[in-house]
Amino acid sequence: MPGDIHYEVFFKKNRKAGWALAEAHDSRDAALKLAHTLLAKNKDGSARVSKETFCHDARKFRSMTVFEGGAETYGAIEEKTNEAQLPCLTPDDLSKPHARHTIKRVLTGWLERMQALPMELLHRADLVESLEASGTELQHAVQKVAVASARDQDANVQTLVKQLNELVQKALGRIYKDARDAKLPEYPRKAKFADIANGIFSGDKRAYTLRAAMADRLRHERKYGDKLEALLDMADTLPEAEDARAFALGEVDSYVSEVISFDAGREALLGKCKDLGETIERLTCLFDGDGKADALRMAPNCARRLAKWTHSREFDSCRAVIAQCLLKELERPARLRPTSVREEVRLARDLASRLVISSDSLLPADGLIKTFAARSARLLQPEVIDELLKHSADIDEEVSRLLMLEENLVGEANKSKLAGYVRATIGSSEADGYYIRGGAQPLERLARLAAHQKKVLKGTYPKDAKQELSAKFDELGVKIIDQSKILNMVEAGDRPALDKASALLRLATGGALPLGRCSTDAQARALRQIKSAAGLSEAQTEDGRPKLKAIHGLLQQLATQTGKAA
């Protein structure tokens, strides 16, 4: 109510004098005019204007300083020699992206309580009134910006406070004046956005005017989710003319990006997510513009509506905010899937491949790789590895689960650490008992080691780690061969010499033996059979020549496999 607000003007003649109430006014402009008049008449004096708002609940006035000026507050401080200069010089500068971001940063708490946006604050007199009546929110925000700017510039804080206060007063004064002079356009709830935008574009073509109209429309929506739906309705009814459409689309994009930059606005967009993984999945779909993805099926309707616009790459500001949110969420220490390491690994792999493919200037691939490398490191924490290996049927399944991790890790350091876990597992006494003296047939155990070795050789481990792991599997295989005498049995059989040579080489090339000493042993035994008297005699027969040709092919195949493994 008008009678609940008045403005008090205080004045002091010099530094040693005390503050005295000069006058009280109902009009803000009149109070500010009086303060400036008093300062002009007395150069050594200081003036202060406070807004007094009566709180009916507390039955008292709340005071908010709206202007300070004069020698008392802004005396020169010699120790700061750099000239203080703000990046924003005019009220219009406050509507630029970097300035709105600063407003959001220093007024986040108040804006979220009001479910309001920086753009609305710059174009709605009622919001400005609420901010000034809130107590010290505005002055604290000014001081935060001044302190940060002074630190960056090595300049005087008080000078920056003065400049900021002057800029804020100009901006607020313009909003009040435009509202009083009915210069802020109205946007009836049932009006079409195309008509509003076309009218402004054919008139003064000022972004300020269109933003004010949009702010008036959002005045009726009390929650971020409702504001988001209203803005997407505007996007769906853009002007048809290309120039007018581009003019309106840019402002809608800016407003929507502000909504989703707030935690509460982002929650309204994404809905309740069961875990961090679901949050990142939905953000990924929004960045990629995949409105039909399963991840968005249970999300609020506005998420699917926004995905249509990000898919068309017309909402650049929104995609930039989503990209920032994605990186921020990926950098969090929380698990993607707290209840399942396997699901965590699968999701991390899917997200990494999808995001790297869709990366662009807003979401650089190098930044993603760095982020996923950090997340990969968390998968290698002892408690996560313990959970991964829990309920494994045997040591062989533990090795399989560890090797499965490799293709889902990013970064050489992480893969080297994983190799350490694998080495420790296959070097344990439990592994010796399972592979060397296990219940399965020797060839089955050798084939399992060969399969693990093949997976390692196909992986992207650091070279030293890869060679060491490969040698470990081969070493276990040699122990199995020595203990079981399996190759001796093949040699001692009653089959023809060339058939025994062929059988030995097929074991080495067919994945039944690890590459290395195991395959070399089989090859040496095969050559011994070929060079034996029985082998040389058989090679001269009509049946022996095709066998010898097949053996030659197997030897070439083994040489190729050994070369690749080196």
Q: What is the pLDDT of residues 171-203, one digit of tens each?
A: 888 999 988 988 889 998 889 999 999 999 999
Give the pLDDT score at 137.
85
* CB-based contact 410:369 (threshold 8 Å): yes
Give me the percent of the chain exceeding a pLDDT of 90.
Answer: 63
Residue 499: its H or E element: helix 497-509
Give the pLDDT score at 344.
92
466 domain-assigned? no
Last residue of a domain, one of 183, 198, 228: 183
Give the pLDDT score at 463.
93
Give the pLDDT score at 6.
81
Q: Please compute the mean of the pLDDT values over residues 121-125 and round it to a whole number.
A: 93
Residues 51 and 129 in one domain: no
Last residue of a domain, one of 149, 183, 217: 183
Q: What is the pLDDT of residues 14-37, one digit of tens each?
A: 877 777 778 888 888 888 999 999
Residues 500 and 555 in one domain: yes
Please measure the distance between the N-terminal and C-terminal CA atoms of the chain and give it in whole angstroms. Answer: 85
- Confidence grade of residue 2 (pLDDT, cut at 50, 70, 90): very low
Residues 57 and 106 in one domain: no
Q: What is the pLDDT of residues 202-215, one digit of tens each?
A: 998 899 999 999 99
| Residue 166 lies in domain | 90-183
Give the pLDDT score at 190.
87
Residues 64 and 96 in one domain: no
Residues 104 and 66 in one domain: no
pTM assigned to the model: 0.75
23-48: b (≥16 Cβ within 10 Å) or e: eebeebeebbebbeebbeebeebbbb
pLDDT at 220 over 60: yes
Residues 99 and 141 in one domain: yes
pLDDT at 223 over 90: yes
69 domain-assigned? yes
Residues 556 and 490 in one domain: yes
Give the pLDDT score at 438.
83
Last residue of a domain, one of 157, 183, 209: 183
Q: Please compute the mean of the pLDDT values over residues 527-544 and round it to a whole number.
A: 91
Looking at the chain, the number of H-run helices and the number of E-run strands are 29, 4
* Number of domain units in the chain: 3
**SS3 at position 274:** coil
Q: How far apart are CA 103 and CA 187, in angstroms?
A: 25
pLDDT at 361 over 60: yes
Say how many C-beta atoms besides its own lie within 10 A of residue 225's C-beta: 20
Residues 107 and 32 in one domain: no
Q: What is the pLDDT of residues 52-107, one digit of tens each?
A: 887 777 666 677 888 888 876 544 434 444 555 666 678 788 888 988 999 999 99
390 domain-assigned? no
314 domain-assigned? no
pLDDT at 385 over 50: yes
Residues 53 and 97 in one domain: no
399 domain-assigned? no
Residues 560 and 492 in one domain: yes
210 domain-assigned? no
Helices within 115-223 (DSSP H only) = 118-121, 125-133, 137-153, 157-180, 193-201, 207-218
From residue 374, alpha-carbon distances to 160, 432, 441 in Å are: 40, 34, 42
Q: Say which residue the tokens 């060079």 belong to.
A: 531
459-488: b (≥16 Cβ within 10 Å) or e: bebeeebbbbbbebbbbbbbebbeebebbe
11 domain-assigned? yes
Q: How far apart are CA 390 and CA 377, in angstroms?
A: 19
Give the pLDDT score at 83.
56
Give the pLDDT score at 85.
64
Q: How far apart are CA 60 and CA 137, in angstroms?
A: 18
Give the pLDDT score at 80.
45
pLDDT at 230 over 90: yes
81 or 376: whose pLDDT is higher?
A: 376
58 domain-assigned? yes
Residues 47 and 108 in one domain: no
Residues 106 and 149 in one domain: yes
- Confidence grade of residue 147 (pLDDT, cut at 50, 70, 90): confident
Give the pLDDT score at 155.
63
- Confidence grade of residue 154 (pLDDT, cut at 50, 70, 90): low
Mean pLDDT (the chain) is 89
Give the pLDDT score at 162.
80
